[in-house]
Amino acid sequence: MIRVLVVDDSPSVQELLVQVLGADPAIQVLGCAADGEQALEMAARLRPDAITMDLHMPHMDGYQAIRRIMQTCPAPIVVVSGCADRAEVEASFRAIEAGALVQVHRPYGPGHPEHEASARALVRTVKSMAEVRVVRRWAPESQRTPRAGGAGRGRRLVLVGASTGGPAVVRDILAQLGQEFPLPVLIVQHISAGFTQGLADWLAQASGFPVAVAAHGQLLAPGTAWLAPERSQLAVTRELRARLSLGAPEHGMRPAVSHLFRSVPAELRAASVAVLLTGMGKDGAQELKQLREDGAVTIVQDRASAAVYGMPGEALRLGAAQLVLDPVRIGKALHAIANNPGRSLALLGY
């Protein structure tokens, strides 16, 4: 039985969430908190397996509550967002920065044509996140690395795949790259529909590195991180242009890391650096191994810093990774590799 604490200051929203979650026989709703202070007290006393969190509450808001819970009595936290406007999307990513795992849209009420689908999405997310082993979380202290000279001719592109817990990790990596990073960075981040542009805006603001959502045919210019748009598979051509398609989901995902990694043309594989970060499942692991065999530099996130060690753990099991690093060291490694063309990993200190 998955024990869940609901946190929201609206009685009607509390009632809706309790109804949706309680309808699943595998979930027990332990109770409802109406503000952050009450949420902190109940989380410490009840030790739930997962928490749904509103952000805008009196006394102690959701951001403070998330930080305090992750510092004192860690639990998987799912941010339940009421709308998809820019301010709300940005708020959701600030919550992930504070320690939440993922965000999901609030279910529509009974009678709405999307009620069933949105209710299933919440239940599925809460049940998945309840499986995540979380640890005490403290505010990150990341500093940007100044740019080192170099034309980056040894490498042509960087590929990054991430899922649960990924946004904050991607932010930490991008913050290390410097203002004139000489390569394009292609990112597949599994995320709820409606949040991709908000993720791009938040990453750019939080990391200081340019981030945009890739469009079909887009020239993937260096010095920018290009996010895969939602509901599309992202591939890269030999001319370093984005190719989007409605190809079938892989590992249940579209966009999928596997699709991006596999799409790298043969002549670009040895000129690529591929990174696999926190996430559930196996998306990208087999393809990372193939990239390594074809000459790419391959990196996975270390276990200690990952919210979920499914994807990087599977890559390690397959022997796909040359380097295993925490997020800041991944960023520094990318910076060193891109700005020191022709130098081996050993000469770079890896």
**How many helices and strands (H and E) does the chain possess?**
12, 14
| 302 given a catalytic annotation | no
The conformation of residue 219, written as its DSSP 8-state character, comes to B
| 207 given a catalytic annotation | no
Out of 190, 251, 259, 335, the active site residue is 190
| 251 given a catalytic annotation | no
Out of 163, 207, 272, 305, the active site residue is 163
Please identify which residue in the block is written with the tokens 């390569």: 183
Out of 172, 207, 283, 305, the active site residue is 283
Rounded-to-integer distance, Cα 148 and Cα 154, Å: 15
Residue numbers annotated as active site: 163, 190, 283
